[in-house]
Amino acid sequence: MDKKTIALGVSSSVSLYKACEIIRLFQKKNIAVQVIMTANAAKLISPQLFSSLSGRPALVDLFSSPKPEKIEHIALTKEIVLLLIAPATANVIGKMAAGIADDFLSTFYLAVRSPVVVAPAMNEAMYLHPQVQENLRQLKTRGVVVIEPERGELACGEEGWGKLASPEKIVDVCLEIIHQSRSLRGVKVLVTAGPTREYLDTVRFISNPSSGKMGYALAEEAAQRGADVFLVSGPTSLTPPAGVKLISVESTRAMAREVEKIFPQVDVVVAAAAVVDYEFPRKFDHKLKKERGPLQLELRPTIDILAELGQKKDQKILVGFAAESEEVVANARKKLKKKNLDLMVANDVRRQDIGFATDFNEITLVYPDGQLEEIGKATKKEISRIIWERIEQIIKKRKIIPSA
């Protein structure tokens, strides 16, 4: 098997000596480590130490690369399977959250497409500062995994929160993520996302407030786990995740057409789009004038994409979303049966703090045997990780994964 490489960002916390142990633990697992230090970290400890331990020159300065023929901070992104920053100072975390790129490490972070893990270490007051907490929250919503620091004796002599998590724990979390990044290799996935629009005339339509964030997070997570991902999306303002094939649509019927084309090629369908269930039987090909006076509109149910797929699914895995405003679980159970699904993700769209157009969700997973699993409020990125873990269990039972 190819030897994998991770990048280890080291910033200027006293606990940076623990990065030596982190390197050793990765090496024991046959994983090579490329160290990137901040200039301030290089004031606390010589880069020479990390170069010797890792067997590769530690990178510090963006403008004096050991390989000047390459743009090192871009070339390296293609070599690594993960970026770990341990210890991460308040400063590095703030720069990552703000998108500042003024040294090798912060510039590299913006260019990296592999999973990113951050292990903060600092004095308790710094760690609990609302700005630091806000920065960490932002990073989490973007999919960065934060290994929370522990409580203990800190370098400043105080007792409190802010102690770097143990090297063993940090390396275990990273190994788990590296393992996950191959877990859907060979699997073909279709995710639908966003709202649909049903036009009345050339400018007016009915729709819903779906932002597409849940579907995009699911597509991103599947791609990061190595799946081939098709994302059929209604109109959103989101940037498609790296590596997915985006197909943009507007109406429910257009989404149904694209889904039907792709369906025969895929193993798993996750239907997270908030489709409009009704359409106008009559569409005007010009903008209706208000001089017409009162307008009575007729709507009729449009195509039920998931129910159609449920009819012809064979061995494919179908996962649906039930956005409900009453009797959430009971309705989700009914839909799961009616549409012949393998898993239903139910959420309550009455709540303002989760669901439509927010970064958070709180869901109940409903299984065909009637089992329920409640997942507490978490970022959509975290929720999508849990959903894919559950889908992977179904995939294993069905033996869909080609032994990659």
**Piece of 90-98, 174-182, 201-209, 236-244 that binds ligand FMN (CB under 6 A):** 90-98
Extract the tokens encoding 49. 């130490």
Question: Per rule CB under 6 A, is residue 92 in the interface with ligand FMN?
Answer: yes
Please tell me the total number of residues recorded for the chain in this structure. 404
Extract the tokens encoding 19. 């990065």
Extract the tokens encoding 137. 């929250």
**Identity of residue 249:** V
Choice from 34, 54, 65, 91 touching ligand FMN (CB under 6 A): 91
Nearer to ligand FMN among residue 15 and residue 224 (C-beta): 15
Note whether 26 and 6 are within 8 A (CB).
yes
Nearer to ligand FMN among residue 169 and residue 312 (C-beta): 169
Annotated active-site residue 156? The verdict is: yes
CA 294 to chain centre: 46
Nearer to ligand FMN among residue 13 and residue 302 (C-beta): 13
Choice from 7, 33, 96, 121 touching ligand FMN (CB under 6 A): 121
Nearer to ligand FMN among residue 115 and residue 149 (C-beta): 149
**Piece of 119-127, 169-177, 284-292, 395-403 that binds ligand FMN (CB under 6 A):** 119-127
DSSP letter assigned to residue 15: G
In angstroms, what is the minimal distance from the CB of 13 to ligand FMN? Answer: 3
Nearer to ligand FMN among residue 135 and residue 252 (C-beta): 135
Choice from 6, 122, 189, 305 touching ligand FMN (CB under 6 A): 122
Strand partners of residue 247: 232
Choice from 54, 89, 196, 224 touching ligand FMN (CB under 6 A): 89
In angstroms, what is the minimal distance from the CB of 33 to ligand FMN? Answer: 18
In angstroms, what is the minimal distance from the CB of 146 to ligand FMN? Answer: 14
In angstroms, what is the minimal distance from the CB of 141 to ligand FMN? Answer: 21
Question: Per rule CB under 6 A, is residue 135 in the interface with ligand FMN?
Answer: no
Note whether 309 and 263 are within 8 A (CB).
yes
Residue nearest to ligand FMN (CB): 13
Nearer to ligand FMN among residue 40 and residue 340 (C-beta): 40
Note whether 381 and 141 are within 8 A (CB).
yes
Tell me the site size for ligand FMN, rule CB under 6 A: 15
Sequence-separated (6 or more) residues with CB below 8 Å from residue 43? 12
In angstroms, what is the minimal distance from the CB of 34 to ligand FMN? Answer: 18
In angstroms, what is the minimal distance from the CB of 91 to ligand FMN? Answer: 3
Question: Per rule CB under 6 A, is residue 41 in the interface with ligand FMN?
Answer: yes
Range 33-59 burial, b when 16+ CB lie within 10 A, else e = bbbbbbeebbeebebebbbebbeeebb
In angstroms, what is the minimal distance from the CB of 177 to ligand FMN? Answer: 23
Alpha-carbon distance 172 to 389, whole Å? Answer: 17
Hey, which residues between 10 and 29 contact ligand FMN (CB under 6 A)?
11-15
In angstroms, what is the minimal distance from the CB of 287 to ligand FMN? Answer: 56
Nearer to ligand FMN among residue 35 and residue 270 (C-beta): 35
- SS3 state at 125: helix
Nearer to ligand FMN among residue 18 and residue 316 (C-beta): 18
Q: Which run of H or E residues covers position 245? A: strand 245-248
Note whether 178 and 191 are within 8 A (CB).
no
Catalytic residue among 71, 74, 128, 156: 156
CB atoms within 10 A of CB 213: 25
Note whether 121 and 166 are within 8 A (CB).
no
Alpha-carbon distance 251 to 340, whole Å? Answer: 24
Question: Per rule CB under 6 A, is residue 40 in the interface with ligand FMN?
Answer: yes
CA 45 to chain centre: 35
**Piece of 121-129, 189-197, 259-267, 374-382 that binds ligand FMN (CB under 6 A):** 121-129
Alpha-carbon distance 326 to 335, whole Å? Answer: 14
- SS3 state at 21: helix
Sequence-separated (6 or more) residues with CB below 8 Å from residue 289? none
Note the residues at the interface with ligand FMN (CB under 6 A).
11-15, 38, 40-41, 89-92, 121-122, 126
Task: Supply the residues annotated as catalytic.
Answer: 156
